[in-house]
Structure 1
Amino acid sequence: MPAKGSVPESRGGNRPYRRPRTTFLIAVGAAAALLTAACGSPGAAGEGGDGGGGDGGTSTLKVTTLSLCNEISVLWAQQKGIFEKNGLTVELVKAGGGAAGLAAVQGGSANLAFTNPFSTMLAMKSGIDLRWVATAYGTPKEGEDPSNAVLVKEDSPIKAGKDLEGKTVAVNELGGINQIIVQQFVTDAGGDPEKVKFVALPFGELASAVASGKVDASQAPEQYSNTPGVRSLGDPYMKVGKDKWLVFAGYVGTAKFVDENTESMKKFLASLKEANTAIKEPANQDEKYRIEAAHCGQDAKKLAEDPENPYFADVPMDAMKQMAQILVDQGQTDKLPDVEKLVPEYSRS
């Protein structure tokens, strides 16, 4: 998982997760009902206006949040008046994970969900028509600073992903985005991910479990590679993505809502782009980390020392298509997710 990245919902099992359509829809419906009861009905985009975020009034968007540091783009745009300048009011609605966010937009208690591509594509497989409006952040590509690591003991004979065959690997959750990427990391190195045993551990235990010999390896944020007694095999996201950024998290709405509120969606995307330009300015770094720290409950000085993921709002289609193919290759879906349908033209890079 990226140093400050998103936390997808927990799932069980050691192999690629296969969720039956009915189970997924029941889970989504239940979560949506809970969120609707807690939050009430969202203010629709263009409410009091033209229904499309035009000149009829300020558009209100309810956007789910996981209270993560890497949500800085939407936080900056909200707190610095960028959304307001572009005719939007953005309200953040807390959700317990990516699936809960998707449930919220399906149930109508939020307009956009903060989630990851794999969860989104699997939801589409279950029959939920979704649109990926904007990216929140991605993962580094080769030649950039890593934000993740596959950790092994300093004296371990494990040298590459294929050597993880027959070994126990810890991830923060079973069946989530990090396990999927590690499985691909093993495959790309010539190994068989079916022969890897995955276990779930809290983030704070991922490195120490390797150092103590409790597990053979773990996937963890890059800063954990500084733990005494461990070393990194490299960033699995960088290895899988090679010369391109992969998409880690972004903002997703139902096809109906997004299509009916195209202008508001374009304004949301433009606001994130403007925010990303600002948060990359050296003069804004201290304030950026203060805003992050207040949102995610961490120390601003520590955040400034941690590796960061690349922030971009457009959607790189080649990366999304690669991630869709990974789901097929791993047997999580027998039909290639329709990325062309998922990502509107105006959202593409």
Structure 2
Amino acid sequence: MKNKTVSIKHIAEHLNISVTTVSFVLNGKAKEKHISEILTQKVLDYAQKVNYKPNQLAQSLRTGKSKILVFMVEDISNYFFAKLARIIEDIAYEKGYKVIFCSNENDDTKSLELIGLFKNRQVDGFIIVPSPGIKNMVAELIEENHPVILLDRYFHDLECNSVVIDDQKATFDATSHLIANNYKKIAFITTDSDQMQVQNRLLGYKNAIAVNKLKSHILKIPYKDAKNGKAKKSIKKYLTTQDLDAVFFATNYLTQSGLETFKENNLESNYNLGMVAFGDNELFKIYNPTITAVSQPLEAICHSLMELMLMLLKQKNVKEISKKIVLNAELKVRESSNKRVF
């Protein structure tokens, strides 16, 4: 018995009841179908005794639901996305769903291949951090009635559910914090990208600088260099050739490159730079000095994503729901942005 796959038919034959009755009980519909509590418990006890495992493929073909969601991000090893993935996994599991995690590396070809693969596998829904050129594919998913939520960024001219951070406000507030603490020559180090969240962060910095009638100092690093470790050379050259008193890193991977550059070249001691990072990290609390960071609300992001996804999964037409959820980040003030003393 232990070595054989136990089917619903086997359970039905053993208990001398219909396959339909067994199916209703195992799918939690006993009360709805007016099946007695005694018979329900009898089925459940025997299913447990014979270690019954549902055939997921057959179940998905029968119900049209796989109970699987896709969580596609830019880079699953990135601290921000990895933390989100862990929280999403727990919330989804509590709701009866499993999650497939994958990275698109901000590459359109890979994004399209992965979406096509999972669509053919009949996953129930998609949470996607979109690469720049997949708007048409996302639109196609929606037209085909697949639940889709965009995370971190969206397409301005596409009606699609999304959960994002108010990047512009977060960056404006963080830059204003540096200015209030007597930093006036603040470098903003970002990627050379047209992505919405990158542009909004840059705009927040520019607005804060303009409001305070200061001069902007902007370094844009090619995306590929920012991701493959070549950013350090550009950061070192910029920081050692400009008259600066603070630096604001626009992403957590640029922050990492910056910190490595500081340590390898003793820039902190030589230049006494203030610093802020967009994206918090547990290590920032123990770094010396501790690092001020724009902290994205991980729990709120994940709960918003799953609440919205569960709503979409219940809809006969996913177009009936259209929400753009914008959440606020929090500035975690630490030693790296302490008031500058002349």
- TM-score, scaled to structure 1: 0.38
Higher RCO, Cα 8 Å, sep 6+ = 1
Task: Please say which structure displays the higher CA radius of gyration.
Answer: 2
